[in-house]
Amino acid sequence: MQQELQIYIDGQFYPEPEAKVSVFDHGLLYGDGIFEGIRFYNGRVFKLTEHLERLWDSARAIMLTIPMTIAEMEAATLETIRKNGLKDGYIRLLVTRGKGNLGLSPDRCPKASVIIIAATIQLYPPEAYERGMTVVTCATRRMAPAALSPAVKSLNYLNNIMAKIEANIAKADEGLMLNEEGYVAECTGDNIFVVKRGEIYTPPIYAGSLRGITWQAVLDIATELGFKVNVQQMTRYDLYTADELFLTGTAAEVIAAVKLDNRVIGDGKPGSITNKIIARFREVAQSTGTPIYA
Ligand code: PMP
């Protein structure tokens, strides 16, 4: 039997059935809060500093005071993984606005709440990694940066969820989201890349995506492997005419997409450049990061 998870909430550990938040928490009432999803491999947390820095940027953007320092958050994260005796897995860090009243104003929430869950995750079925994913373009547009910046990794994921529902109805593995102008932004939980004539392309963050930590890691790997990398605006034309497509995200890692809107991309199989990047990503992920049990 699997051991019961120990969840960190505001400095204490609770067995999963007892790990609860108030119904007056504004994270629940309004999606008012931020989060990170982080993977650890082989006893090391991958890109922990980058995730914590992004969490702090999200907090700053929504004027949320995280009630601990980055060093304390790092220590609490490592402690949560150790408490659960895990070597490989996935961490979810949440900072909610905390308990308030039924009004939406955050000035009635005196203290933010910190929750850390260390577990495992499987985003897509294992066979999707072999055959490549099917993707459909969603009618739901990625929200405009002037409304709520997609760069803020907030607890309000309804924009992405609406798109994911469309993808589910279409029986596709993922949904492609365009921005208000019709340029490619990202998928519902992943960044997107194109391979064309041996070069790699991805939309800029300002097209309306999260600044993916895996996105950056893959840009670094592609450059290290000697590929020319182009960060530029793209339309669906660029995706339909791609030789290869792949998606990146902490939970997804790196995964090929072989169909978009029922059109076959390239030769319909995960491409050779995608496979090279996946192989190198796995090596880097397995051999770098913050040690958990040092
Ligand atoms: N875009 C969105 C909307 C996401 O939620 C995520 C994270 N799941 C990503 C992109 C990928 O970001 P990262 O590589 O930092 O996980």
pLDDT-based confidence at residue 2 (cuts at 50, 70, 90)? low
Mean pLDDT of all residues in 140-162: 97
Q: What is the 3-state secondary structure (H, E, C) of 90-120?
A: EEEEEEECCECCCCCCHHHCCCCEEEEEEEC
Q: If you average pLDDT over every residue of the chain, what do you get?
A: 97
In this prediction, residues 70-77 reach a mean pLDDT of 98
Query: Which amino acid residue places its CA nearest to atom 2 of ligand 1?
Result: 189
How much distance in Å is there from the Cα of 85 to the middle of ligand 1? Answer: 26
pLDDT the model gives residue 1: 45
φ, ψ for residue 270 (rounded to 5)? -55, 130
Q: What is the spatial distance between Cα 115 and Cα 35, in angstroms, rounded to a whole number? A: 9
Nearest to 87 by CA among 46, 42, 39, 121: 42
Boundaries of every domain in the chain: 6-119, 126-286
Tens digit of pLDDT for each residue in 32-53? 999 999 999 999 999 999 999 9
Q: Which atom of ligand 1 is nearest to the CA of 213?
A: 15
Architecture of the domain whose range is 6-119: 2-Layer Sandwich (3.30)
Measured by CA distance, the residue closest to atom 5 of ligand 1 is 189
Return the number of other C-beta atoms located less than 10 Å from residue 237's C-beta.
9
As given in the structure block, the two tokens for residue 202 are 């991805």
Above 70 in pLDDT, residue 213?
yes
Any residues with Cβ below 6 Å from ligand 1, and which?
37, 160, 186, 189-191, 209-210, 212-215, 248-251
Ligand 1 atom nearest residue 153's Cα: 5
pLDDT at 181 over 80: yes
Annotated active-site residue 269? The verdict is no
Please tell me which residue in 47, 153, 164, 259 is annotated as part of the active site: 153
| Matching fold, domains 6-119 and 126-286 | no
Using the predicted structure, report yes or no on whether residue 14 has a pLDDT greater than 50. yes
ipTM of this complex:
0.99
Q: Which CATH class is domain 126-286?
A: alpha beta
The verdict on pTM exceeding 0.80 is: yes
Among 210, 211, 214, 284, the mutation site with the greatest number of ligand 1 atoms within 8 A of its Cβ is 210
Quote the CA–CA distance of 142 and 183 in Å, as a whole number.
10
Q: Whose CA is nearest to atom 3 of ligand 1?
A: 189
pLDDT band of 179, cuts 50, 70, 90: very high
At 189, which helix (H) or strand (E)? none
Query: What pLDDT, in 10s, does the model give residues 101-130?
Result: 999 999 999 999 999 999 998 888 899 999
The whole-number average pLDDT for the span 194-207 is 97
E strand or H helix at 38: strand 33-41
Question: The dihedral of CA 149, 121, 52, 279: what is its sign?
Answer: negative
- For the CA of 51, the closest atom of ligand 1 is 15
- Dist CA 85 CA 75 (whole Å): 15
**Residue 247 pLDDT grade (very low, low, confident, very high; cuts 50, 70, 90):** very high
Is-contact 257 134, C-beta < 8 A? yes
Give distance in angstroms: CA of 248 to centre of ligand 1: 8
Of 91, 156, 190, best ligand 1 pocket probe by most atoms within 8 Å of the beta carbon = 190
Alpha-carbon span 281 to 253, nearest angstrom? 8
Encoding tokens for residue 279?
């192989």
**CA 37 – ligand 1 centroid, Å:** 8
For residues 260-271, average pLDDT: 97
What pLDDT shows up at residue 122?
Answer: 87
